[in-house]
Structure 1
Amino acid sequence: MNKSELVKAMAEQSQSSQKVSKLALDAILYQLTKALSEGEKVYLPQFGTFELRYCLPKQGRNPKTGEVIDIEGYNQPSLKFSANMKNQINSAE
């Protein structure tokens, strides 16, 4: 499912227009991105927790030359699904 299909499904589910659903989805994505960029966790009951995990700096190799390079540490966004969501997915099979 891509974004336009999700917007269409949201519009059908909420019995609203696709324009309204797209605005709602864009607002949700904006707020998630903003909260994560500020270092906050975002907990959505019945769905899961969005958070940042810091990946430590490490050394890697350039595959062409074999030269050792330093890779800086970075924040990796992650999502841990709730137990309820996992149960719903597994029972739907």
Structure 2
Amino acid sequence: MFVRIVKMSFNEKHIDEFLSNFNLNKEHIRNFEGCRFLELYRDKINENVFFTYSYWNSEADLEAYRHSELFKNVWSKTKPLFNAKPEAWSVDKVVTLE
């Protein structure tokens, strides 16, 4: 399994716009071929910072999403709202305890 973590920081006046766009597209992202899990987190102290956390069957599936019209549409509406450069990590899950 391939895990993708993305940190995004927004201007406060754009948070509602980001959340609206995310909510419109979250089911499409989650149901994109190869996506197994999707969550959105919000920092408890710095409330303009958000993280997406997603599981993918493979790196190729994530890359297919990143080159899709869905991603291009979502990203084109998200990118102008940032107040800092987004950061992303691709990681392998090593251990899960439930």
**TM-score after normalising by structure 2:** 0.25
**TM-score after normalising by structure 1:** 0.26
Structure showing greater Rg: 1
Q: Which has the higher contact order (CA 8 A, sep 6+)?
A: 2
